[in-house]
Amino acid sequence: MIAAKRVSGALGAEITGVDLARPLSQDAFAEVKRLWLEHLVIFFRDQPLSPAQFMAFAKQFGEPVDYPMVKGIDGYPHIIEVKKLEHERIAFGGIWHTDTAYLPRPPMASMLVAREVPPFGGDTLFANMYLAYESLSAALKTLLESLKAVNTSTKADASKTREDALKTSARQDAKDYVSEHPVVRTHPETGRKALYVNSGHTVRFAGWSEEESAPLLKYLFELQIRPEFTCRFSWQPGSIALWDNRCAQHNAVNDYHGYRRVMHRITLAGDVPA
Spatial contact of 13 and 40, defined as CB atoms under 8 Å apart: no
State residue 261's pLDDT score.
96
Catalytic-residue membership of 39: no
Mean pLDDT of the chain: 94
* 128-to-11, 191, 243, 258 alpha-carbon distances in Å: 6, 15, 11, 31
State residue 157's pLDDT score.
67
Across 24-28, average pLDDT? 96
DSSP of 58-79: HHHHS-EE--SSBPPBTTBTTE
Query: Which of 39, 78, 97, 264 is an active site residue?
Result: 97
Q: What are phi and psi of 132, to 5 degrees?
A: -60, -45
Cα distance between residue 47 and residue 50, in whole Å: 9
Across 243-260, average pLDDT? 96
State residue 167's pLDDT score.
61
State residue 70's pLDDT score.
82
Task: Report domain extents, the chain.
Answer: 3-268
State residue 71's pLDDT score.
87
State residue 83's pLDDT score.
92
Other Cβ atoms within 10 Å of 241 Cβ, number: 22
CA 191 to chain centre: 20
Identify the band that residue 163 occupies on the pLDDT scale cut at 50, 70 and 90: low
Spatial contact of 104 and 269, defined as CB atoms under 8 Å apart: no
Catalytic-residue membership of 97: yes
State residue 64's pLDDT score.
97
At 250, is the secondary structure helix, strand, or coil?
A: strand
Catalytic-residue membership of 99: yes
Spatial contact of 201 and 158, defined as CB atoms under 8 Å apart: yes
Q: Which amino acid is at 199?
A: S
State residue 162's pLDDT score.
54
Q: What are phi and psi of 136, to 5 degrees?
A: -75, 155
Cα distance between residue 1 and residue 176, in whole Å: 46
Across 249-259, average pLDDT? 96
Residue 165 vs residue 206, higher pLDDT: 206
State residue 95's pLDDT score.
92
pLDDT surpasses 90 at 161: no
Spatial contact of 273 and 181, defined as CB atoms under 8 Å apart: yes
Cα distance between residue 139 and residue 65, in whole Å: 38
Q: Which amino acid is at 115?
A: R
At 47, is the secondary structure helix, strand, or coil?
A: coil
Query: Which of 39, 99, 162, 204 is an active site residue?
Result: 99
Across 238-250, average pLDDT? 98
pLDDT surpasses 60 at 172: no
Residues, the chain, total? Answer: 274
Query: Which of 39, 201, 250, 261 is an active site residue?
Result: 250
Query: Which of 39, 185, 187, 265 is an active site residue?
Result: 265
State residue 166's pLDDT score.
60
Where does residue 17 fall: left (phi above 0), alpha (psi -120 to 50 degrees), or beta otherwise? Answer: left
Q: What are phi and psi of 148, to 5 degrees?
A: -115, 155
DSSP of 146-215: T-EEEEETT-HHHHHTTHHHHHHHB-TT----EEEEESEEE-TTT--EEE---TTTEEEETTS-HHHHHH
Across 58-68, average pLDDT? 94
pLDDT surpasses 90 at 8: yes
State residue 160's pLDDT score.
64
Catalytic-residue membership of 181: no
pLDDT surpasses 60 at 171: no
- Class at the top of the CATH hierarchy for domain 3-268: alpha beta
State residue 165's pLDDT score.
60
Q: What is the pLDDT of residues 71-129, one digit of tens each?
A: 899 999 999 999 999 999 888 778 999 999 999 999 999 999 999 999 999 999 999 99
